[in-house]
Amino acid sequence: MRYGYFDDQAREYVTDRVDVPVSFTNYLGTQRMGAVVSHNAGGYCWLDSPQYHRITRFRPNGVPMDWPGHYVYLRDDADGDYWSLSWQPVGKPLDEAKYACRHGLSYSVYQCDYKGISASQTLFIPREDGGDDPVEVFDVRIKNTSDAVRRLSVYGYVEFSFHHIDMDNQNFQMSLYAAGSHYRNGAVLCELHYEENSWQFFAGDFEPDGFDGVRESFIGAYHTERDPEGVRKGALSSSTELGGNPCGALQKKLTLKPGEEARVLFYLGTGDDKAAQKTRQRYDKAGADRAFEQLRAWWDGKLGRMQVKTPHENMNRSLNIWNLYQSEINVLFSRFSSFIEVGGRTGLGYRDTAQDAMCIPHAEPEMCEKRLRQLLNGQTGMGYGLHLFDPAWFEKKAGQSFNSPTVVPTPDKAGMIHGLKDTCADDALWLVPAVIENVRESGDIGFFDQVIPFADEGEGTVWEHLKRSLDFSCRQVGAHGVTKGLRADWNDCLNLGGGESAMVAFLLVWALRHFLDAARFLGRLDDAAVYQKKMDDMIDVCRKVLWDGKWWLRGFTADGRAIGSQLAREGKVHMECNTWAVISGTATREQGLSCMNAVDEYLYTPFGLMLNAPSFTTVDDGIGFVSRVYPGVKENGAIFSHPNPWAWAAECVLGRGGRAMKFYNALLPENQNDQMEIRQAEPYSYCQFIMGKDHTAFGRARHPFMTGSSGWAYFAATRSMLGVRPEFDHLTVDPCIPAEWDGFEVKRMWRGAEYLISVRNPDHVEKGVRELRVDGRVADRVPAFDGGVHTVEAVMG
């Protein structure tokens, strides 16, 4: 069963059956202001930080789910009947009112047809030139499709938040007196009195017929957003108060003749009534149209950096629209703003951010580079990364402006630099390929010589930072000579009691390979010699102690027990070690074929590859927290999405394009649009995990949007499967595809030039290019051109 469909022309997912059992999510905003909204207009928005500067309030994990939101109500003033333009919160019977939600790229449209009134509400946050007066626009259109003259009231409504998430959830003896509401020049204003110059406004492009600034006055003590007093009665109460719970509610009365249409704009912004006035001028009807077009054009530009045309419709849809969009949102907003991560954390997860920034530098160069700088700054002089940190700690203007009589400790730098005890062994290793992939994309080799401070003390060039992270891992080895997992490796729950991790060893080899490629290109041959030796040594150790005959061990516990061996009853085969042995080039071809066969045999399901199997059922803290997680859930035998693309990449190393596609297809969200009774999650974004075979809800996906699966899916699909990879001085075209494909096309921008790549597969092979032509001439590689449009024809065979 399905709840909606893809409208590729508009680049939208249309939910036309809105009683979805979960929220289908979207994100608004591309700069400082962001919002997460559901297909029912539930959600919240923030400025810069969802933890410290929440603009609208959210009641997480509640019933009804994902309330409140950014709502618009309509009321028929002739008979008092009222409804909302999103199905919730009023929730009119679906056989009487027709609803749909269109999630587009950084905007959402809520459509409703009811009682001869056809209306829509578009939410979006324009891109600001200076980025200094962000605003969310509610663009409302109402058409009278009946034969009678209609008298209507339209209401916009938001509930303001006390900015700081803790203020919203505790100590109301203080917070309820910290914020107040005002009404000036047609705008409802919310003021955080303890913060300097901290105002929000809710305004319209009209002279309001009524307003409320106090939540209880609009909603009523014994009502909810489903039946607010102000809408029910048809009149707002002009409430404002210094204290209480501020809200923004505005009413506009309209009379529409048959066939007549009206357009009403609401604005939710930061600043006082003067800012509201400016916003009204800037985003009047023509201005709002212009801003919306600019937003679309901005996305056109991004998506246009790479477009693919393969025989696989859902792959095209994913790579050309949704997978890239999801990856962008992760880079833009990090991970701490969703319906799952409800804003109680701020900052960057080291490994997650590094991987996000590695995967899409072609589409998001500035933001990826910004993230890398922040990460480089979050690296300690010893070489490890701060697992979770706030870049603001290291910025000159550190410290939040938030001024509260409740004691909020001032961050003390010394206390923020955690030691080895809390170090995750993989964190800073991801930095190496991430930086190098970004330079391969941009060609800016000067980046390696830029000087960036370490988190604790001192500074070094980016090159020095990379060496410190490699050196750190090379030093942190255990009794078998394999790298330690420390607090955890990529897998938060498989802690091995601090033992040795195959995943980290292979990741180190991969990072070293990237580093060696860069060192040789830059002519830093002394470094190349030193690190080549380190890599060879680590590969030797791994081959000696980690190969278990058919597949690779996952590691050793602190007391020396092998994990992931053929002898094991639980956790026999693991994804991380087997995929990375191949990707890193540690596995021989025979070992690679054998271990990836084991991945297929033990871990494959029609919904993707499970992280490990069989799931752990016996608590064993020597292995880690994973043994305390329900079987089939999250890191214990679920289909953890993030490592799935590692298997696609590994199969491409082995040249098995059919197998890579089998794995790709199993996880691809777009493939599951018709199986919503099983998936129960949006079909346009990868989810963090899907319940594994050992769980009763096998196939149910959870935690959409904010997950590293997205970047990796894009990275593996474009670079390994379609095989288009920027190198320092040329573009590799090395596809690994299903034999039945006749070929495919890719249009890719790279360093200011456009490459029109067409791949033909007349012999129906899975890998190998037997002939390459650049601009019509036979060539052995695709050079980095300075500009212009260039054709690349590759014939497989």
Nearer to ligand GLC, 455 or 507 (CB): 507
Which window, 124-132, 208-216, 344-352, 458-466, contacts ligand GLC (CB under 6 A)? 344-352
DSSP characters over 73-132: EEEETTT--EEESSSTTT---TTTSEEEEEEETTEEEEEEEETTEEEEEEEE-PPPSSS-
By CB under 6 A, tell whether 492 contacts ligand GLC.
Answer: yes
Q: How far is the CB of 349 from ligand GLC (least distance, A)?
A: 5
- Answer for the pair 236, 192: CB distance below 8 angstroms, yes or no: no
Q: How far is the CB of 635 from ligand GLC (least distance, A)?
A: 5
> How far is Cα 696 from Cα 637, in angstroms, rounded to an integer?
13
Determine the residue type at 176.
L
Site size with ligand GLC, rule: CB under 6 A = 9
Nearer to ligand GLC, 493 or 749 (CB): 493
Q: Which position has the token pair 């804003």? A: 343
Nearer to ligand GLC, 202 or 640 (CB): 640
Beta-sheet pairing, 388-389 with 604-605: unpaired
Residues 6+ apart with CB under 8 A from 68: 42, 56, 57, 58, 59, 89, 158, 159, 225
Torsion of CA 77, 78, 83, 84, to 10 degrees: -40
Query: Which residue is catalytic, options 133, 492, 620, 734?
Result: 492
> How far is Cα 85 from Cα 122, in angstroms, rounded to an integer?
10
Q: How far is the CB of 710 from ligand GLC (least distance, A)?
A: 11
Q: How far is the CB of 688 from ligand GLC (least distance, A)?
A: 5
Which window, 213-221, 309-317, 349-357, 590-598, contacts ligand GLC (CB under 6 A)? 349-357
By CB under 6 A, tell whether 168 contacts ligand GLC.
Answer: no
Backbone phi, psi, residue 39, to 5°: -70, -5
Q: How far is the CB of 475 from ligand GLC (least distance, A)?
A: 23
Give the residues across from 613 on adjacent strands.
573
Residue nearest ligand GLC, CB atom distance: 492
By CB under 6 A, tell whether 352 contacts ligand GLC.
Answer: yes
Rounded to the nearest 10 degrees, the angle between the axes of helix 525-545 and helix 502-522 is 160
By CB under 6 A, tell whether 745 contacts ligand GLC.
Answer: no
Q: How far is the CB of 352 from ligand GLC (least distance, A)?
A: 5
Contacts of 695-704 with CB under 8 Å at 24 or more apart are 695/630, 695/631, 695/632, 695/633, 695/637, 695/638, 698/605, 698/607, 698/632, 699/605, 699/606, 699/607, 699/675, 701/607, 701/669, 701/672, 703/338, 703/340, 704/25, 704/338
By CB under 6 A, tell whether 688 contacts ligand GLC.
Answer: yes
Q: Which position has the token pair 């008092």? A: 80
Question: Which residue in 159, 191, 576, 635 binds ligand GLC (CB under 6 A)?
Answer: 635
Question: Which residue in 302, 351, 679, 748 binds ligand GLC (CB under 6 A)?
Answer: 351
> How far is Cα 315 from Cα 764, in angstroms, rounded to an integer?
19
Nearer to ligand GLC, 344 or 752 (CB): 344
Which window, 28-36, 485-493, 505-513, 765-773, contacts ligand GLC (CB under 6 A)? 485-493
Which window, 121-129, 391-399, 491-499, 654-662, contacts ligand GLC (CB under 6 A)? 491-499
Q: How far is the CB of 643 from ligand GLC (least distance, A)?
A: 8
By CB under 6 A, tell whether 349 contacts ligand GLC.
Answer: yes
Q: How far is the CB of 731 from ligand GLC (least distance, A)?
A: 30
Nearer to ligand GLC, 315 or 511 (CB): 511
Nearer to ligand GLC, 18 or 494 (CB): 494
By CB under 6 A, tell whether 712 contacts ligand GLC.
Answer: no
* CA atoms in the 13 A half-sphere facing the CB of 454: 23
Question: Which residue in 200, 217, 476, 491 binds ligand GLC (CB under 6 A)?
Answer: 491
By CB under 6 A, tell whether 646 contacts ligand GLC.
Answer: no
Q: How far is the CB of 351 from ligand GLC (least distance, A)?
A: 5
- Answer for the pair 345, 352: CB distance below 8 angstroms, yes or no: no
By CB under 6 A, tell whether 70 contacts ligand GLC.
Answer: no
Active site residue 422: no
Residue 246 burial (10 A CB sphere; 0-12, 13-18, 19+) = buried
Q: How far is the CB of 434 from ligand GLC (least distance, A)?
A: 14
Nearest-CA neighbor of 725 among 797, 672, 653? 653
Contact pattern from residue 591 through residue 630 relative to ligand GLC, giving x for each residue in contact according to CB under 6 A and a dash for the rest: ----------------------------------------
By CB under 6 A, tell whether 302 contacts ligand GLC.
Answer: no
Nearer to ligand GLC, 239 or 709 (CB): 709
> How far is Cα 371 from Cα 376, in angstroms, rounded to an integer?
9
Q: How far is the CB of 49 from ligand GLC (least distance, A)?
A: 18
* Assigned token pair, 552: 């690779």
> How far is Cα 635 from Cα 492, in angstroms, rounded to an integer?
8
Q: Report the alpha-carbon angle 185-295-250, nearest 5.
A: 25
By CB under 6 A, tell whether 490 contacts ligand GLC.
Answer: yes
Nearer to ligand GLC, 77 or 422 (CB): 422
First-to-last CA distance in the chain? 41
- The alpha carbon dihedral of 613, 618, 624, 628 has a sign of positive
Which window, 244-252, 357-365, 490-498, 673-681, contacts ligand GLC (CB under 6 A)? 490-498
Q: How far is the CB of 183 from ligand GLC (least distance, A)?
A: 43
Burial 47-74 (b: 16+ CB within 10 A, else e): bbbbbbbbbbbbbbeeeebbbbbbbbbb
> How far is Cα 500 from Cα 622, in angstroms, rounded to an integer?
12
Nearer to ligand GLC, 371 or 534 (CB): 371
Which window, 147-155, 199-207, 347-355, 720-728, contacts ligand GLC (CB under 6 A)? 347-355
Nearest-CA neighbor of 146 among 260, 252, 263, 254? 260
Q: How far is the CB of 52 from ligand GLC (least distance, A)?
A: 21
- CA-CA distances (angstroms) from residue 177 to 162, 193, 247, 400, 791? 10, 9, 14, 21, 66
Nearer to ligand GLC, 310 or 491 (CB): 491
The secondary element (H helix, E strand) that includes residue 526 is helix 525-545
Which window, 100-108, 255-263, 484-492, 542-550, contacts ligand GLC (CB under 6 A)? 484-492
Determine the residue type at 142.
I
DSSP characters over 340-398: SS-SS--SEEHHHHHHHHHH-TTT-HHHHHHHHHHHHHTB-TTSPBPSEE-GGGGSTT-
Which window, 113-121, 143-151, 345-353, 764-772, contacts ligand GLC (CB under 6 A)? 345-353
Nearer to ligand GLC, 351 or 467 (CB): 351
Respond yes or no on whether the N-terminal peptide bond of residue 64 is cis (omega within 30° of 0). yes
Nearer to ligand GLC, 123 or 649 (CB): 649
Nearer to ligand GLC, 217 or 491 (CB): 491
> How far is Cα 269 from Cα 576, in angstroms, rounded to an integer?
45
Please give the residue ranges that form the binding site for ligand GLC (CB under 6 A): 349, 351-352, 490-493, 635, 688
| Residue numbers annotated as active site | 492
